Amino acid sequence: MADELTVAEALQRRRTTGHFDPAKKLDEVQLRRLLGLATQAPSGHNLQPWRFLVVRSEKNREKLKTCAYGQEKITEAPVVVIVLGYHHPHETHLDPMLDSQVRRGVLTSEQAAGMKGRARAAMSRTTDLGLWASRSAMSAAMCLMLAAESVGVHSAQVEGFDEEKVRASFGVPDDHSVGCLVCLGHARETKPFPGRFGLDVVCYQEHFGCSVGPSEAPS
């Protein structure tokens, strides 16, 4: 087995896969490892609002393909993960998360009580829980794709889909946002690097519009 890539190498080598080789599968052990690594993403108050709906059967991938405007990669890839953001983890998972940290010795009971109060106060001030949850879910999606690339599994983030159709087809409740679909498998062919803008285009310093100056884009 080839050595796993570093984070920097995975970032530089990852490409969105346009077409997957349907003959090359992804085994259960490898998939569970990648999903586990994706859960290392950051989240506000460690509430971990991402949820992963794994679609593997041919029948369900065909159904998901209709939700994604017929994109072939949905049925070519052996696995598609519907990445969701759960809006209310502070109501259902805050106590278990803090209790776990107390048992592990990460927090004292007093510290956990203080964190609980601060988390609940912060969440009560959050005006758009769907947006809040989606931000963490998309971080988890990126972690999933980087983890995949590091072990030689290719990916494609799909943002073109009918969210309401996904909800209806896969039983996604209203208190979950559909962030994106992530196809996982092995590319049918490699793609050349399409290039990226340099920091002088995408990065500002101290105030919006203040350029950092000329720079080279990643090669």
Q: What is the pLDDT of residue 1?
A: 47
Measured between alpha carbons, how far apart are the two ends of the chain, in Å?
27
Rounded CA separation 14/43 (Å): 24
Mean pLDDT for back-to-back runs of 10 residues, the chain (219 residues): 86 95 96 98 97 98 98 98 98 98 97 98 97 98 98 97 98 98 95 90 94 72
CA 193 to chain centre: 22
User: What are residue 87's phi and psi, to 5 degrees?
Assistant: -75, -25
Q: Are 178 and 167 in contact (CB under 8 A)?
A: yes
Q: What is the pLDDT of residue 167?
A: 97
Rounded CA separation 95/183 (Å): 33
What is the pTM assigned to this prediction?
0.94
CB atoms within 10 A of CB 100: 13
Q: Are 218 and 51 in contact (CB under 8 A)?
A: no
User: What are residue 83's phi and psi, to 5 degrees?
Assistant: -95, 120
Rounded CA separation 79/186 (Å): 10
